[in-house]
Structure 1
Amino acid sequence: MKMKYLVLLALFTCVGNSFAQQTPASKQTEAITIVGATAHLGNGEIIENSLIIFEDGKITQVMDATATKMQYRGRIIEAEGKHVYPGFIAPNATLGLVEIDAVRATDDEDEIGSMLPHIRSLIAYNAESKLVESMRPNGVLMGQIVPRGGTISGTSSIVQFDAWNWEDAVIKEDDGLHINWPSSFTRGRWWAGEDPGIKPSEDYQEDLLELEEFFTSAKAYLAGNNKKTNLAYDAMKNVFTGDKRVYIHVDGKKEILDAIDFKQKQEIEHLVIVGGYEAHKAIEELKENNISVLVQRPHDQPNSEDHDYDFPYKLAGILHNKGVLVALESSGSMERMNTRNLPFYAGTAGAYGLGKEEALKLITSNTAKILGIDDMVGTLEKGKTATLFISEGDALDMRGNILTHAFIQGREVSLETHQTELYQRYKEKYDSASK
């Protein structure tokens, strides 16, 4: 009987391990020196033969190895011929909020209601998501976790991708409020007997008025002595003080200009456009109001027959070259699994008007600046958190993006996932079949 229980216990342990994420890495206990790699600093600069040292989770040295006699410290990683990068950052992601789209119990990206600034994505974040785990082998080591739905979706937070739970994962808690801007056009509902074409929305001005009234009511509530608590209005406090950024998800030129007008009326200090398909038509207004843009992923088709076939590839470069602070986001169809392609989106933008090192900024330093975490991450720089990785080749090219080491806050994290396990399993199968 005792043997039976031992066998069952072993079986349950094996099954549990097959479904669970790897155990998060332990805290860094010794200094690590990376020597000889080409360091892409994330700010447009390169050090061909670099020396990088980090300890206690912080970068302590970044320099040219040929120009220094500094003594190496702790564990030494010889990386000649390889490349080292700051960890890539995925903004506007729903990683950890949905595991399987078809299983409702695993879908926690949306809540019932329209004005939901008090909904916090962080507490719903699943640190053990297999999708989150699968980001790391491509160098995507951090992300902004954003709720969806409603006019005001809720509040996002920024996390790192190797944690026991959301408390351990958080880098910046409740960093921004997300607004889905109404569209000034609507598509006719053919099933209701309407013309299926696109026409001006009769509800647009009414939707804007509703949004403005919510902001006005929240200000009045916070300015008064209210005995009755309103959680939605309470959540707006940091927006009005400027401590919380406002991310407006919008694409059309008219809507972008209306959003800029909204920023001025509501005296919003930090506003970011998300998506921004027609942001190139409002460049001067964006610059005048110090508004950044998280550009939609470039691997897409143009939305207008008037646009070049490669317009989505060029959009980030057009905005960047005109002086707008730009980063890349990856929302859209199959967005969670496609987030791992973030470096390749940047590589495409680099090939269409930016160049590799400027394109790298779109997923490192620019993203960190837009999210307000550039004092911690985004570049390989003394004093910043040691969240970085070593790649055998160009990390913005899927042929060279082959990671050998990855570190989050100085901790060396596993690059194995359920996908790499399946790859090895079937590789062995077909290797043996070909012999």
Structure 2
Amino acid sequence: MSKYTYILTLLFSASLFAQHAPAKKQTKSILILNGTAHLGNGKIIDNSAIGFKDGKLTLVADASLIRLATGAYDETIDATGKHIYPGFIAPNSTLGLVEIDAVKSSDDQSEIGEMNPNVRSLIAYNAESKVIETVRPNGILMAQITPRGGTISGTSSIVQLDSWSYQDGVIKENDGIHLNFPSIYNSSGWWAEPGSASLNKDYAKEINEIRTFLSNAKAYQLATANERNLVFESTKGLFDGTQTLFLHADHELQIIDGIKMAKEIGISKVVIVGGFEAYKCAELLKSNSIGVLLRRVHDMPEFDDQDVNLPYKMAKMLTEKGIVVGLENSGDMERMNTRNLPFLAGTCAAYGLDKEQALQLITSNTAQLLGIDSFCGTLEQGKDATLFISEGDALDMRTNKLSKAYIQGRLLSLENHQSKLNDIYKEKYNQK
């Protein structure tokens, strides 16, 4: 047996004894008392009373200002000294689409071809992915499952991260279509040895191809066709306002050209994904009510003359301009690094935002940009009871330690194969 095969065997064996069935539906009402509740909308309740029943929040109040009848809730949890948060949301994620990068049969994140709006990531989503179990202990309880590749990658859907299957997990199906806008530059080399960059001479041509495709798709919706075109049919939501165009673009000119094209074609709902230079066109974004899902902020600037701290400051710069900002984590090792999403927000707090504004980047703001803010993203009566209790500040990796987590009122297991291995080796070396 090779060393590589041996390691894979160990990991597979570890995953077997860490398997957990999804939590059962909430049957007992629960009241969490005396914790510091971070509502996700910028507000804090220092001594809170958070109650939920049948998967929905029924009480969000200051514990000192209410009087509850004896037995009003079946179970009471004392959260004194602890913090309560709405579940974090990971947008533009490939969780459940790839298990092991080196194993081709476990990689289902992209499709052949350039224009694939009809490709639905949801049906490829593996709810039993072992990676998913490793992100929940840091508070990530929902994700937008997004395809990759091509010019139009396909259609994303939003799931909660504790289910038997994609049918059980979906909370918003086919929420948007993802367009990778043409790059201005052609780069050579790789991240460790970057090469020279040259202008993309086909930039205008590639934009025109996208414009033509979307214009034909719109015309198809308005006409009576003799034959069905399933590819064009899948774009209907872009033109009737039920779906969002997620425009993946980083540079100023890309963002401006992408917005201009979308407006010309008649697409009303647009969100920028990446947006490294979105701060340069903030007024355009604001005037068109377009939000930004900022690319991973734990990164370096793109150009030598940029402030080395620019990625950390961008959330504050856009927020000050009145732009709705969320955070996404695509890139190298993105699935396992999803667990670091809270700490991306923490870095934004260290570079200008206050903690509650930073929290909004991965809760209410992201929920708004994904169109799910009516039922999640904040701790408010009537919304889903998707929340967790942390021993400390959930945006700080030193104190983010969950004691309980709930999705739609269901108590989750926070164990996974990594925590099991941690326990095993602590025991081996007699660490407490």
Instruction: Report if TM-score (shorter chain) is over 0.5.
Output: yes
What is residue 107 of structure 1 aligned with on the other side? 107
Q: 1:221 to 1:20 in 2, by over 3 A?
A: farther
Counterpart position of 1:409: 408
Segments of 5+ residues of structure 2 without an aligned counterpart are: 1-11
The amino acid of 1:103's aligned partner reads: V
State the match for 1:183 in structure 2. 183
How many residue pairs are counted as aligned between the two chains? Answer: 415
CA shift digits 1:301-321 (9 cap, x unpaired): 111111111111111111011
Q: Could you tell me whether the CA contact under 8 Å between 1:272 and 1:370 is conserved in 2? A: yes
- What is the TM-score of this pair, normalised by structure 2? 0.94
Secondary structure of 2:424's partner?
A: helix
Measured against aligned partners, the alpha-carbon deviations of 1:12-66 in whole angstroms (never above 9, x if no partner) come to xx96971673100000001000001000000010000000110000000000001
**1:225 and 1:299, CA in 2 relative to 1: closer, same or farther beyond 3 A?**
same
Cross-structure match for 1:346:
345
User: What secondary structure, in the 3-state scheme, does the structure 1 residue paired with 2:351 have?
Assistant: helix
Letter of the aligned partner of 2:134 in structure 1? S
Q: CA deviation at 1:82?
A: 0.3
Could you say if the C-alpha distance between residues 250 and 290 of structure 1 is closer, same or farther in structure 2, counting changes exceeding 3 Å? same
| Matching residue of 2:68 | 70
Alpha-carbon distance between aligned partners in 1 of 2:302 and 2:82, rounded to the nearest angstrom: 39
Matching of residue 39 in structure 1 with residue 37 in structure 2 = yes
Which residue in the other structure is 1:193 paired with? Answer: none
Other-structure match for 1:117:
117
**CA–CA separation in structure 1 for the residues paired with 2:218 and 2:404:** 49
Larger Rg: 1
Whole-Å separation in 2 of the counterparts to 1:80 and 1:57:
23
Counterpart for residue 209 of structure 2 = 210
SS in 2 for 1:23: coil
Contact kept, 8 Å, 1:35 with 1:50, in 2: the verdict is yes
Alignment of 1:207-246 (within 5 A): 207-246=206-245
Please list every run of at least 4 consecutive aligned residues from structure 1 whose deviation after the TM superposition is greater than 2 angstroms. 14-17, 187-190
Name the amino acid aligned to 2:235.
M
Deviations 1:151-188 (A, max 9, x none): 00000000000000000000000000000000122136
Cα distance in 2, alignment partners of residues 197 and 352 from structure 1: 31
TM-score (norm 1): 0.93
Q: Which moved more, 1:376-385 or 1:299-308?
A: 299-308
Q: What's 1:6 paired with?
A: none
Aligned AA (1:45) = K
Which amino acid counterpart does residue 178 of structure 1 have in structure 2?
A: H
Partner deviation per Cα, 1:322-379 (whole Å, 9 max, x = no partner): 1111000000111101111000000000110101000000000000000000001000
Is 1:20–1:128's contact at 8 Å kept on the other side of the alignment?
A: no
User: 1:85, 1:180 → 2: CA distance?
Assistant: 33
Alpha-carbon distance in structure 2 between the residues aligned to 1:306 and 1:291 = 28
Q: Deviations over 1:81-135 (max 9, x none)?
A: 0000000000000000000000000000000000000000000000000011111
The answer to whether the Cα contact below 8 Å between 2:31 and 2:73 also exists between their aligned partners in 1 is yes
- % of aligned pairs identical? 56
Q: Which one-letter code corresponds to 1:342 in the other structure?
A: L
Shift of 1:400: 1.1
In 2, are the aligned partners of 1:21 and 1:133 still within 8 Å (CA)?
no
- What letter matches 1:414 in structure 2? S
- For the pair 1:201 / 2:200, whether they are aligned, the reply is yes
Q: 1-side partners of 2:189 and 2:171: how far apart? A: 43
Partner of 1:337: 336
Post-superposition shift, 1:197?
Answer: 2.5
Q: Distance in 1 between matches of 2:276 and 2:93?
A: 18
Aligned equivalents of 1:77, 1:189: Cα separation in 2: 55
Q: Could you tell me how far 1:300 is from its partner in structure 2?
A: 0.8
